[in-house]
Amino acid sequence: MKHMFRILLIGALLFGAASSSASAQSFTDLHKGTNFYDEMMYLYSEGVIEGFTDGEFKPSMAVNRAQAAIMIGRVLGYSDEPRESSFTDVGKSTTGSGYIQTAYENGIISGYGDNSFRPGETVTRGQMAMFLARAFDMKDEALVPFSDVSIQMEAYRSIRQIISFGVTEGYTDGTFQPLKQVTRAQFSAFLARAVSDDFRLKVNACGYDPESRTNPDYQTVNCLITKAALEADTVVPPEVVKSIASVESGGWKQFDSNGDPIISDDGGIGIMQVTPPFESGVNEEKLKYDITYNIEQGIKILASKYTDPALPTIGDQDPMNLENWYFAIMGYNGAVAVNSPFVKATGDHNFDSYQMKVYRDMDNKGQVTPQIFQIPMTVDDFHYGEDTNWNIVFKKDHYDFYADYTPSRHYFEPGDQVVHVGTTLRADATTRSKGTPLQSAEKLKILAAPVYDLDSDSNQFVWYPVEVVRTEQKGYVASYNVR
């Protein structure tokens, strides 16, 4: 983005009768203390926005849809050559017609149901969110902290995207005010932040300050683990990571009641109980005080266990399938006697093994119910004792799997169509919210990235914002109910 302005036409006029001779210091209505002064001057110096012939900048003047298309088009290097457009109210002679049509062709702007563009209509903050999210191809989505933003809004996902990108924080009263018109000053701030790292706002993943040295609330941890797993270099299902963290830390905790990092007797640190002496290249101080780093290191260790040639593989070894992680989960804690799949003396399933505790947590916390008992193992497949120093010796290096796999439910993306196997479409992301009955096997479209339970301190699943394909109703469904 830093080189986007190289082809801008600096002398071009954007708003009304602009003055090309005015200097950045000569606007009578701007001074250093003006809100978004630096952002306005940045865009002015790059030729994206101009002042007026009366010597004013007019920071409070509203921006219309044509002007927004022109400014975004200039930043993206579009041609200003007049063109016929796809809209009934934008002809070749319309100011900015070239920018408007090119932005439309690139999916940045859209018109209305009557095939009009309405170039003179004031841009709202919700529309601006959509323009910028599309123009700068923003992918990541933050949680929506605003009381006036709902899934029913067209701009819902775009608002989440510009928050995550560091474009805005909203208002201090906890609102975004999506219907409020955008002024030249606000537009300058939005666009400058989208373009330049120098103006972008600091964004903490899941809204958690990693320097706070306090335990986040339960669903913030859910967000942190989910995000870290989905962004890992290799597929490591969030369900597995969440349950390992739950078993390791006894409830998703990084710090004790005194604010000190949790350290076990054997040196395991934090939520993932990473043990530095056994893991090279790990920053011990960050393990102690940065929960996100601790989670990321735990994921790396788990991924290495999945490809460890000393551990057996299962079925198709597709990492999306949760049953295939059985031995990797064992390896995370140790392939030792206490984690044997069977009790040696009786041949019974060892329900106290580490991997069983992890899979049981997945089930109990509402994520999924993997079919691990369908792995065709027997007590004779494992040997351990004094002669092995109580380490497990695996007599088989691979197990077929003939049952239906349980794939991760966390990898659906906006636009994906899924089948709902539950009975209810929720109004909010909680089982306590009002629900609308759904038909069996109802087809749904994922609208945005998942969100987290509004009021649960036990559920580890996520909620998907969805639209019912048949009825176009919008709401939320739990991840364990989608296929």
Give the relative orientation of helices 218-230 and 291-306 as an angle to the nearest 10 degrees: 50
- How far is the C-alpha of 24 from the C-alpha of 160, rounded, in Å? 33
Read off φ and ψ for residue 274, nearest 5 degrees: -75, 135
How high is the mean pLDDT of the chain? Answer: 92
- How far is the C-alpha of 300 from the C-alpha of 295, rounded, in Å? 9
Mean pLDDT of all residues in 70-91: 94
- Contact by Cβ (8 Å): 186, 168: no
In terms of DSSP H, where are the helices of 231-384? 238-249, 284-289, 291-306, 326-333, 354-364
* Range with the poorest average pLDDT among 7-11, 14-18, 133-137, 339-343: 7-11
All structural domains of the chain with their residue ranges = 4-195, 227-407, 417-481
Fold of 227-407: Lysozyme (1.10.530)
User: Residue 42's closest CA among 70, 5, 85?
Assistant: 5
pLDDT digits 0-9 by tens, 386-401:
999 999 999 999 999 9
pLDDT digits 0-9 by tens, 340-364:
999 999 999 999 999 999 999 999 9
pLDDT digits 0-9 by tens, 224-249:
999 999 999 999 999 999 999 999 99
Mean pLDDT of all residues in 435-450: 95
- Helix, strand, coil share (%) of the chain residues, nearest 5: 30, 10, 55
pLDDT at residue 49 in the model: 87
Instruction: Using the predicted structure, report yes or no on whether residue 444 has a pLDDT greater than 60.
Output: yes
Amino acid at 357: K
Beta-carbon contacts of 250 under 8 Å, excluding residues fewer than 6 positions away, are: none
Instruction: Name which residue leads in pLDDT, 113 or 16.
Output: 113
